[in-house]
Amino acid sequence: MTGTAIALAGARAIIAQRMHASLQETAQLSFLARCDATALVGARRAWRDAGMAVSYEDLVAESLARVLPGHPLLNAVETPAGLELIPALHLSFAVDLPGGLVAPTVFSAQDMTVDALSAARRELIARARQGKLTIRQLTGGTFTLSNLGGTRIEYFTPVLNRPQAAIVGMSRIAGAPWVDAGGALVARQVMSLSLTVDHRFVDGLPAGRFLSALCERLEGAVAQP
């Protein structure tokens, strides 16, 4: 049998080692939830109509910045002394590059508006593609957002970006039947969210409460221009 060999070398080797260590050295547990993304779709359209190139990822990131302060166990990093709760949200974004996946960070995301967060994320991606990320940008995150919304993926279980305690994955938005609060079957734009936590530090109930709160924010309080 002949084929093409892909060596685990350079950046790919580092990524492989980190992913393997993440799974070997933590107790990863994932939670999945569907949310009505109709308001999210409408908010993105409103931002675009206002001349702002705001993405779904930007709007989910802004919602994370509003929800996470009420769930401090999830915005945290592991240290030799245990779990350190971080008051500021240093939000990492998974970015796919030709050499492999990186997760650079926007610092103090909790203080940013949607348009400021969007601009910071785009600048970060540009720096990543140019190979100009700093060590701090690559290692200073407290929580990660991974986005596969541009594919047909409906659910996935993202791997923790150590030493962080949690990561959220967002999947595609698509039309689907939905039962509304009154029990009626309606058509909605639906998105799935995945949350992976380190179960050594975060139990199921706090994880479920956080993911529920994030869904509720996206369903009714998405930032508007």
Calpha distance 190→36 (Å, rounded):
5
Rg (CA), the chain: 18
Q: Which of 96, 111, 180, 203 is catalytic?
A: 203
Residue 70 near residue 212 (C-beta atoms within 8 A):
no
Is 58 one of the catalytic residues?
no
At 222, the amino acid letter reads V
Calpha distance 99→77 (Å, rounded):
26
In terms of C-beta density within 10 A (0-12 exposed, 13-18 middle, 19 or more buried), how is residue 4 classed?
exposed
CB atoms within 10 A of CB 203: 12
Is 49 one of the catalytic residues?
no
SS3 at position 51: coil
Name 116's Cβ contacts closer than 8 Å, sequence gap at least 6. Answer: none
Residues designated as active site: 199, 203
